[in-house]
Amino acid sequence: MKSPILVTGASKRVGLELATTLAEAGHTVICVSRSKHPGPLHANMVPFQADLQLKSDRDALVTYVKTHFDSLRAVIHNASLWLDDGLDNLNTMFKLHVEAPYHLNFELAEWLLRLDRADIIHICDETSSRGSKSHIGYAATKSALQNMVLSFAEKYAPTIRVNAILPGLLILKEDSTPQYSARTLKKALLEFEPGAQPLIDAVMFLLNTPYSTGSSVVINGGRHLRKALSHD
């Protein structure tokens, strides 16, 4: 059976656009999300509903993959929650950003290793390498997700390439005011809303490049430089 790409958080926004692009490129895509997928989906997209915070749901996903497919081409950990600081929210984000990818990387490794080349991609955040005073828990859990790239890359080399993508702002929130949008866009050197395409381009690069593992691709429009300049 055709080796699919598994994408988590694939029911809306960037995750949905990424999954659709992969499907249109000819890949079978297992689209994992907590909510039901909006229809209609591309014929190559296979929806799977799961709350990845729950081990029982992750176990069900692993069983589904191993029952219906002979191997996996890639796993892309895109599922994410951007929550305010607080112990309950920290626990929620830890389960989704750290525990779920950790668990799935171990459980699905055998299926990835059945191919001559496979990939694991962690979608982190540009704050995972610099912190965020307004979303400390979010940045911390994304930093842990980024750090796991190093360990899994070493563990699974050379067959499975494990890399990270660190996006900044891609798509403004639906309820953004003009004032918020203008203020947010000015945090980057490239002051525009790029949409999902930069992340899709980065995923395609990592799926095709022969010589990258344990690396992080930053796509933030120069936001880190704008931040540095503001302190000069």
Q: Cite the active site residues.
A: 138
Cβ atoms of 71 and 114 closer than 8 Å = yes
Rounded Cα gap, residues 23 and 150, in angstroms? 28
Rounded Cα gap, residues 65 and 59, in angstroms? 10
Token pair of 96, please?
């989704």
Cβ atoms of 169 and 185 closer than 8 Å = yes
221 phi-psi bin (left φ>0, alpha ψ -120 to 50, beta other): left
Residue 52: closest CA among 1, 86, 103: 103
Q: Phi first, then psi: give them for residue 220, nearest 5 degrees.
A: -130, 15
Residue 225: closest CA among 147, 86, 130, 136: 130
The amino acid occupying position 187 is: K
Name every residue whose Cβ is closer than 8 Å to that of residue 120 and which is 6 or more positions away in sequence.
Answer: 74, 75, 76, 77, 105, 112, 152, 156, 160, 161, 162, 163
Cα-based distances in Å from 60 to 71, 101, 151: 17, 15, 25
Rounded Cα gap, residues 13 and 35, in angstroms? 13
Task: Tell me the β-bridge partners of 33.
Answer: 49
